[in-house]
Amino acid sequence: MDTGRKLQFADLEAVGPGTPAGCYLRRFWHPVLRASDMRPRTAKPIEILGERFTLYRGEGGEFHLCGFRCPHRGAQLSLGWVEGDDIRCRYHGWRFDCAGQCVEQPDVEMSNAARVKLPVYPTREYLGLVFAYVGEGEPPTFQRYPDLDRPGVIITDATEIIPCSFWNRLDNDINHIPWVHRATALRKGRNDFIVPRRETVEETPYGWKSTRYAKGDANGFRDMSGSAHFFMPNVYQFGVRTRVKGFEGRNLWDTKITWTVPINDRTFAAFDVTHTPLEGQEARDYEAGRLKQQEAESGDRWDLAEKVLAGEMTLEELPDELSAYTSFAIEDYVTQVGQGSVAERGRERLVDTDKKVILMRRLWLREVGALMEGQPLTAWQIPTEPLQQLATATA
């Protein structure tokens, strides 16, 4: 790492091995897959932080993460077979156990299997996601999120792969809502989305907290949905009124947590998990409705987004039958992808409504700068009690 000059925001975009942001991110656990997207006895290649790995699921359902290539001749390990909790290379049949040790070299007269080992990495399942630690040494304590550990229904959304820097999602701000989502708000009669917004933001022991306000009547701004919370380095928690059909009129609030995980310098994966305070049959009905509503439109929404980016249609021309959820996702996609890389933007002219963006970048520059200089880092602490206090007033 270059320590000869002051760290700049643009330096935080690269995430590969040895980069400032890459070294910092490798100090944390990150989700790498939705657990339901992988069957037992299967393997697949994955990429995170600019590195490729092999993720496989044993016959008993446990996930294992190891190096991308077989150390024999460099074959892609995910092409092979999963046998119990072992993986066998398709090229020459070498077999490795879940600790990475080579345990079989078929047809080799003078085996050196005892001296051959794959790199392996810790994994954990939580909230329907597979988490991994791909840094050096012992992993840090695995973080749980008390707001999602409460009784209720948990929905783990399909992973979204977005072709732009993780920063284009990470330092998004609340002031975009009445503009980015204007077309959908007008088409769906959601006038509450086009009123001006503001937020206050403060550093916390876990990252930062913002309190969000929407323009009300002559009395000014009012609390719209409680507080939003950011857990360093890339986890965002906020409250939103549910949009599931059949439940939207009940003033029912979801707590959503999103992980923004760089795949490489120009692509990130978004992992979203939602908690809704319902139990029993209501929870089952809600889950079925939520999955049906979202996955029915997931196939072609990015095709529509790419048409908008290419100037072949406008956001005002999105099909009326699209749900508000899908339309909002398309609007976020075209805005974030359209920003380009940090370097491509040139000079940004931040203003007073960018307080959250400024704080986010300041925290990252402070922590990554300290890492580069060998100085102590902040030991971020997530509270053990739920944080989310959702507003009950109509927003």
* Residues whose CB is less than 8 angstroms from the CB of residue 201 and which lie 6 or more positions away in sequence, other chains included: 208, 209, 210, 355, 356, 359
- Tally the residues of the chain: 395
First to last CA, the chain: 47
Q: Strand 51-57 to strand 42-48: parallel, antiparallel, or no bridges (unpaired)? A: antiparallel
Note the pLDDT of residue 2: 47
Q: Which residue has the tokens 């990130």?
A: 268
Q: Which of 136, 30, 109, 119 is closest to 66 using CA atoms?
A: 119
pLDDT at 298: 66
Sheet holding 95-96, edge to edge: 81-83, 86-88, 95-96, 102-104
Q: What is the pLDDT of residue 33?
A: 98
DSSP track, 215-259? E-STT-EEEEEEEEEEETTTEEEEEEE---TTTGGG--EEEEEEE
**Residue 150: predicted pLDDT:** 93
Alpha-carbon distance 29 to 21, whole Å? 14
| Interatomic CA distance for residues 51 and 66, integer angstroms | 12
Give the start-end residues of each E strand in the chain.
Answer: 30-34, 42-48, 51-57, 63-67, 81-83, 86-88, 95-96, 102-104, 120-121, 123-126, 129-132, 153-156, 160-162, 197-204, 207-215, 221-231, 235-241, 253-264, 267-276
**Are 176 and 194 spatial neighbours (Cβ–Cβ below 8 Å)?**
no
Sign of CA dihedral 192, 302, 132, 140: negative
pLDDT of residue 296: 65
Domains and CATH numbers, the chain: 35-129 (2.102.10.10), 146-372 (3.90.380)
Q: What are phi and psi of 392, to 5 degrees?
A: -105, -10
Tens digits of pLDDT across the chain (395 residues): 445 678 999 999 999 999 999 999 999 999 999 999 999 999 999 999 999 999 999 999 999 999 999 999 999 999 999 999 999 999 999 999 999 999 999 999 999 999 999 999 999 999 999 999 999 999 999 999 999 999 999 999 999 999 999 999 999 888 899 999 999 999 988 887 888 888 889 999 999 999 878 776 555 666 665 689 999 999 999 988 887 777 877 778 899 999 999 999 999 999 999 999 999 998 898 888 877 776 666 667 899 999 999 999 999 999 998 888 889 999 999 999 999 999 888 888 999 889 999 999 999 999 999 999 999 999 999 999 998 754 433 33
